[in-house]
Structure 1
Amino acid sequence: MKFVKKFPEIVIALAMVVMAVLQYAGGSSISNVLFHRGGSTTNELLPISTPMQTGEPFTVEMDLNLGLAGTFELNVHPDDCVTGMTVNGVVFPHTNYPGYCSWNQGFTVGSDEFKRVLGPKSSGKYHVVFEMHNNSGLGGITAALSTHGVLPAILSVAFYALLGLLVFMVGARLRIDKRLLFCFFLGLLLRVGYTQNTFYDERGHDVGGHIAYIQTIAEKHHIPGDKECWSCYHPPVYYVLSAGSWSLAKFLNASPFSFVQWLDFIFSLVALGFGLACIKALLYGNSRLIAGLLWSVWPSFLLASPRVGNDILLYAFYAVSLWGVLNYLKTSKGQFLITAVVAATLAYWTKTSGAIAFAAIGVAVLVHFVPRVFTAKPRKLEWVSIGLLVVLGGWIAFLTLTNSVVANAAGNDNTVLVTNSPGNFLYFDLQKFLTNPYIDPWHDELGRQYFWNYLAKTSLFGEFTLLNTDAGKWFACLASFCFVILVGFTMAGLWRKKWNRVDVVLVTQMLAFFVSMIALRLKYPFSCSNDFRYIVPVLLSVLPFTAEGICGDGASVKRRVCGWTAVVIFAVSASIVVLGA
C-alpha cells in the first residue's frame, strides 16, 4: 500500500492497460481477406494495391467482426470499380452508393442498410464479397470499419480520462507547468481522434511514392536511387525508420500502412512536446498558454500528424533543434548546441528543406558565442560544438547549393502553373481569403495565384476541402477571420516587444522560412510550391510574438479580451473542421 500511495501513477497505468486489453478484445476488425485474380487466391492485408491490366477482373472477400459494437459503417474505397457485392450470400445493391467506381470518393454502408437487405440473415458477423475490375494503373481495394456502442464508448472515455490524469500526475511530479500539460493533452486527444479516422492515403501528398520508398528499403534492403520511384529523391532518414515499422507490421501479420501511420503519430507527439518545451523557454504566464494552445491545435500541423510522408519527422527535428538553441542561449552549455546541430543535420537528411534549421544555430553563435570569445572564456564543449557546426553545416550548405531541392518538379501537371509577377507576391486578396473556406492548387478564383493567399490558407487547412457542409464552411471561414486577427496581434507583438538575443534568433529563422518559400515559388512556379506544410515549424518563431501582442507588458484589458476571444474561436473552429473532415 505504501508503494501504491507513493507511486499512484503505476496503478493508473495498469488500469489503462486493462482498459486497452478490453477494448482490443471487444474491438471490431476486418479479417480473412482473400484476393482472387487470374485463377489464383492469396491471403492479403488491407489495403490491396497492385499493378493490373486495364479492365482486368478480380474478387476480394473479407469477414467483418463487430465485437462489442452496436452499430457500424463500412467505408470502402474501390480501385477502381465494384461490379457486384454480396453479404452473407445475399446480393447487395452496390449501385445505390455513389462512389462505387471511385477510389477517391468511395462509399459507405451502414449497419441499418445491412439489416434492411439481409433481414433474418443479419448477425454480428458478415462475410462480404466484392466483384471488381480495374480501370487503369493499380488495382485493389481498401476498407475500414467505424463502430459505435455504449460499452466501447465507456471504455474509451475511461481510458482517456485515466490518460489525462496520468499526464497531469507525472507532470506534477516533474514540476511541469500545468498550462503546458493541458496543451499537450489537448493536442494528444486531437491527434488520436484525427488519426483513428483517417485512411493512410487520405489528405496526403505523393503517398504512393512514399510507400514505394519505404517498401523498397523494407523488402529489398537497399536505399533506392533518385529515379527509382516518384519520391525516391528525398533523403532517407524518415524512410529507414518507417521501413522498420513496415517490417514489424509484416512480422506481426498486421497492416504495414497502419503501422507507418501510427509511427508518424508518434513523431507528431515528439514535435508537439519539443515545441511546447521551446514555448516554455520563451514565455511565461498567459503568454505561454496562448502560444502553447495555438501550437497544439494548429490545423495544418494536426493534419500532418498521421500523414505518410517525411513532413512530420522534419517538424520533430526542427523542434528539437530550436529547443537546443534556446537552451544554449540560456545556459551557454555546449551540449545543447551539439543537440541543435545534430537535430538540424537529421532534419536535413529527413527533407532537404531542413537546412533552414541551421539559420537559427548560425545566428545564435553570432549573437552569443562570438561576443563571449572576447568577454569570457567559452568552455571546451562549446568549442567542440562550434567545430561540429562548421563541419556539418558546411557539408550541408554545399549539398544544398549543388543539388536540386525538388528533383521531380518536371513531372508536375501544367494545370498547377502560376504567374510570378510582382503583384503575385505583393498583393494579398483579403476578400478571397475570408469568403473561400478552402484553397486548392488549380482554381484561380480561390486565390492560388497570390503567394500570401496560398501560404496563409494552406497554413490552416492545407490544399484540401475538409468539412464541406454549410456548417463546416462557416467554421472554416470563421477560423480564417480569426487568423487575420491573430496576424494583427503578431505584428503588434513584433513592434512592441523589446528585442533581445533570443528574439533576433526567432526573427531570423522566421525570415529564413519565408524567404525560402518565396525562392521556391520563384524557381518552381507551381501553386503547390508555397504550401505551408514545408514550413510549419515557423510557428515556433511566430506564436511567441502573437502571444506577446495579446497579453505582453502593458496590454489593456480590452486587448487581452479581444485576443483571447480570437484564440479560443480559432482553436474551436479549426478543430471542428479538421475532426469533422
Structure 2
Amino acid sequence: MGKEKKLGNHAKDKLNGLLPYINVFLFITILFIIVYRLGIHQHVKIIQGFMLAGVFFSLAGLGICSLGKGYSWSTAVKVFIGIGFIMRIGYMLYTPYTTRAIDLGDSSLEGYGHAAYILKLLINGHLPETNWVQFYHPPFFHGTAAVVCFFVNKIMEYSKYEDILQIAKIVSCTAACWSLMLLPKICQELKLNARAKAIAAGIIAVLPSCYLMSARVNNDALVTYFMILAVLYTIRWYKTQNWENTICLGLAFGLGMMTKTSCGNIAIFTGALMLYVAYKKFKEKKGKDIGYKLLGFGSIAFPLGLWYTVRNYILFAQPFGYVVRIGTDQRIYTGDVSFVKRFLTFPARELFQPVYSNPWEEYNISMFVIKSSLFSEFTFDIPAMIPRILIALNSCMILLALGAMVYVMVKFKENKLLSRGMPVLWGVIYITFLYFNIEYPFGCTMDFRYIVPTAFLGAIFMGSVFEKACNRKTKKAVLCRFTIGTVTMLFGICSILMFCMIGQ
C-alpha cells in the first residue's frame, strides 16, 4: 500500500512538472487567437507598447519586492524568464511568418519549402512524395504544426493558406519559451545557485536569435528545444541511470532527430558519457542493468530518430546525413574562398560596416556568427546606432563567455560535469558546426541558428563565474561582477529596445 502511494505521488509530481509547459502552450495559443481574431496583430506599435510595458512592470515589481524583503535571486530568475516570454511572444504576434523567414518557400501545395511541407500534411494528409529541397527534413515539426493549424483553425476559420500558416508560429514560439524554461533546470543539475541561474536566464531571455526563431515557420526553434532537453537529460542520466531518465533521454533524441537530424550531434557528447558510465558499471559487476538501460534508450531513440531517413533512403536513395545542395555557381557559395580567410582571420574593420550579415557576400565565419546571432541574415529599418551598440556588446559577451569557460575549466575542477562536461559539449557543437561549413561551404550555413545551444552554455559559464565572484571581496572579483552584470544589462536593454522598434 505504501509503495503504491509513493508511486502515485511520484506520478502526480511529474504531472505537476509538466503543467507549466502545457500552460505556456495554452497561453500562447489563446493569446494568438485573441490577437488575430481582433486584428491587433496589424497594429505593431500597440503590441510593442505592451511588450515594453510588460518588461518595465516586471522589473519594477522585482525592484519593489527587493525593497521589502531584500533582493531575491530566485525571484529574479522568474522575472527574467517572464521577460523572455514577453519578448518572444510579442515578436511572434506582430511578425508575419513570411517576414525574416528561412527556407519557407511558396505558401502553396506546389512549393518545396517548409510552408508546402506543412500544407501537404494538413491538406493531403500524407508525407511529401519527394525529398526535393526542404522535404528531406524529418517531419516532426511539420506534423506538429499541421495538427496545431488544424485545431486552431476550427476557431479562426481561415480559408487562405497564407492565413492558416500564421498559426504554425505557435509551435516555434512555444518551443522558444520551453527552451528558456529548461535553463534553470540545467543550472540546478550542475549545482549552481540562484545567482548563477539569474545571470544565465537573464542572458538567454534577451537573446535576439531566440526572438527571431519564435516567429519562424521552420524547425529551428523546436530542434533547439530538443537539443537543450537532451543536454538536461544527459546530465540527469549520468547522475542517475533510472528508467525515467533513460526513457526521457531517448525521447529527447528521438523526437529531436525526427525534427532535424542535426540534433544527433549532441549524441557524440551523450554517447561518450554513456560509455564511461557503462565501463564503470561493468567494473562494479552491474553491467546487466546498465545494458538494459542502453538497450532501452536505443530502442526509443533510433527508431524515432532514423525512420524518416531510412524511408528516404529506400524511396529516393537519399544518403544518410544528406543536406540539400545549392549550386556552386551561386553567389552564396564560399568554397572558392581560402580556408584561412574563412576560418582563421577576423576582419575587424567589417565589424560595424556593413552592420548586417549578408550570406550572399560574406565568407568569414567568426564575423558572420557575431552578427547572425543578433540579426540572422536580415536587415532592419531602425537607426544604425542600436545594432552597432548591440554588435559591440555581443562581441564583449562572446569574449566573456569564452573567458568564463576557460576559468570554469581551471577553477571548478571539483564539479566535473560543469568544468569538463559542458566545455566538451560546447566543443562538440562548435566543431561539428565548423565541419558542416567545410563540407557545405555556403553563406547560409554560417548562421548562428545552427549553434544556439552554445549561447545557453556560454550563459551558464558566465553565471558560474558571477556566482564565484559574489563569494569574494577582492578587486578582481568586484570588477568581474561589475563587468558581467553591466554588459548583460546593457545588452538586454538594447536587445529589448530594438525588437520593440522594428516593423513587420
Whether TM exceeds 0.5 here: the answer is: yes
How far 1:177 sits from its partner (Å)? 3.6
Tell me what 2:103 maps to.
Answer: 206
Post-superposition CA distance 1:201-224 (Å, at most 9, x none): 111101121110000011111111
Letter in 2 for 1:207: L
Tell whether the 8 Å contact from 1:482 to 1:567 is kept in structure 2 after alignment: no
Could you say which residue in structure 2 is the equivalent of 1:144? 42
Given that 2:54 and 2:86 are in contact with CA atoms closer than 8 Å, whether structure 1 keeps it comes out as: no
Letter of the 2:349 partner, please give it: Q
Distance 1:563 1:407, change over 3 A: closer
Deviation for aligned residue 1:470: 3.3
Distance verdict in 2 for CA 1:257–1:144, change over 3 Å: farther
Residues 1:337 and 2:250 are matched in the alignment:
no
**Aligned residue among 313, 330, 346 for 1:428:** 346
Give 3-state SS (helix, strand or coil) of 2:168's partner: helix
Corresponding residue to 1:256 among 164, 177, 199: 164
1:544 to 433, 450, 460: 460
Match of 1:91 in 2: none
| TM-score w.r.t. length of structure 1 | 0.66
The answer on whether the counterparts of 1:325 and 1:361 sit within 8 Å (CA) in structure 2 is yes
- Asked whether the 8 Å contact 1:319–1:537 carries over to 2, the reply is yes
For the 8 Å contact 1:314–1:350, the answer to whether it is kept is yes
Q: Which residue of 2 aligns with 1:561?
A: 482
Alpha-carbon distance change, 567 to 223 in structure 1, aligned in 2, over 3 angstroms: same
2:126 is paired with a residue of what secondary structure? coil
Which amino acid counterpart does residue 310 of structure 1 have in structure 2?
N
CA distance in 2, matches of 1:550, 1:435: 33
> What do you get for the CA RMSD once the two structures are aligned?
3.6
Q: Is 1:28–1:147's contact at 8 Å kept on the other side of the alignment?
A: no
Structure 2: distance between partners of 1:25 and 1:190? 15
| Native 8 Å contact 2:331 2:360 kept in 1 | yes
Name the counterpart of 1:573.
Answer: 494
Q: Check 1:157–1:428 CA distance in 2 against 1; reply closer, same or farther (3 A cut).
A: closer
**Structure 1 position 274 matched with structure 2 position 149:** no
Report how far residue 378 of structure 1 moved: 6.9
User: Residues 372 and 436 from structure 1, CA distance in 2 versus in 1: closer, same or farther, beyond 3 angstroms?
Assistant: farther
Kept in 2, the 8 Å contact 1:489–1:550? The answer is: no
1-side partners of 2:35 and 2:333: how far apart?
A: 51
Please give the residue correspondences for 1:340-489 in structure 2 after superposition, counting only pairs within 5 Å.
340-375=249-284, 377=286, 380=289, 382-391=290-299, 403=319, 405=321, 407-410=323-326, 414-418=330-334, 419-434=337-352, 436-443=354-361, 448-489=362-403
1:299-338 equivalent positions in 2, closer than 5 A: 299-338=208-247
The separation in 2 between residues aligned to 1:308 and 1:248, in whole angstroms, is 17
Structure 2: stretches of 5+ with no match in the other structure = 1-22, 66-71, 106-112
How many equivalent residue pairs? 432
- Given that 2:429 and 2:451 are in contact with CA atoms closer than 8 Å, whether structure 1 keeps it comes out as yes
Please tell me the residue identity of whatever aligns with 2:42: A
Residue 24 to residue 457, structure 1, CA distance change in 2 (3 Å): closer
Q: Aligned residue for 2:129?
A: 225
Equivalent residues in 2 for 1:14-413, closer than 5 Å: 24=34, 28-29=38-39, 144-146=42-44, 148=46, 177-208=74-105, 209-227=113-131, 230-252=133-155, 253-254=157-158, 255-282=163-190, 283-375=192-284, 377=286, 380=289, 382-391=290-299, 403=319, 405=321, 407-410=323-326
Mean Cα displacement is larger for which, 494-503 or 288-297? 494-503
- TM-superposed CA distance for 1:311, in Å, is 0.6
Greater share of helix: 2
Cα distance in 1 for partners of 2:327, 2:451 equals 23
The 8 Å contact of residues 291 and 547 in structure 1, kept in 2 or not, is answered as: yes
Structure-2 change in CA distance of 1:190 and 1:214 (3 Å)? same
- For structure 1, which segment, 497-506 or 195-204, has the greater mean C-alpha deviation from structure 2 after superposition? 497-506
Gaps of 5+ in 1: 1-12, 30-65, 67-142, 169-174
Equivalent residue number for residue 60 of structure 1:
none
Contact preservation (8 Å) 2:122, 2:147: yes
Larger relative strand fraction = 1
Contact 1:213 1:239 in 2 (8 A): yes
Q: How far apart are residue 422 of structure 1 and its match?
A: 3.0
User: Any idea what the Cα deviations from partners look like across 1:500-529, whole Å, max 9, x if unmatched?
Assistant: 441333222211211111111111111111
- Conservation of the 8 A alpha-carbon contact between 2:193 and 2:467: no
Task: Please state whether the residue corresponding to 2:382 is helix, strand or coil.
Answer: coil
After superposition, what is the alpha-carbon deviation per residue over 1:366-389, rounded to whole angstroms, capped at 9, x for unaligned? 343432332474794x44331134
For the pair shown, the structure with the greater C-alpha radius of gyration is 1
Cα distance in structure 1, aligned partners of 2:285 and 2:495: 48
Deviation at 1:148, TM superposition (A): 4.7
* Residue equivalent to 2:68: none
TM-aligned CA deviation for residue 238 of structure 1:
0.7
Select the structure with the greater relative contact order (CA < 8 A; seq sep ≥ 6): 2
Q: Which amino acid aligns with 2:97?
A: Y
1:282-302 per-position Cα deviation (integer Å, ceiling 9, x unaligned):
221422211111122211122
| Amino acid across the alignment from 2:174 | I
Mapped to 2, the partners of 1:550 and 1:430 lie a distance apart of 29
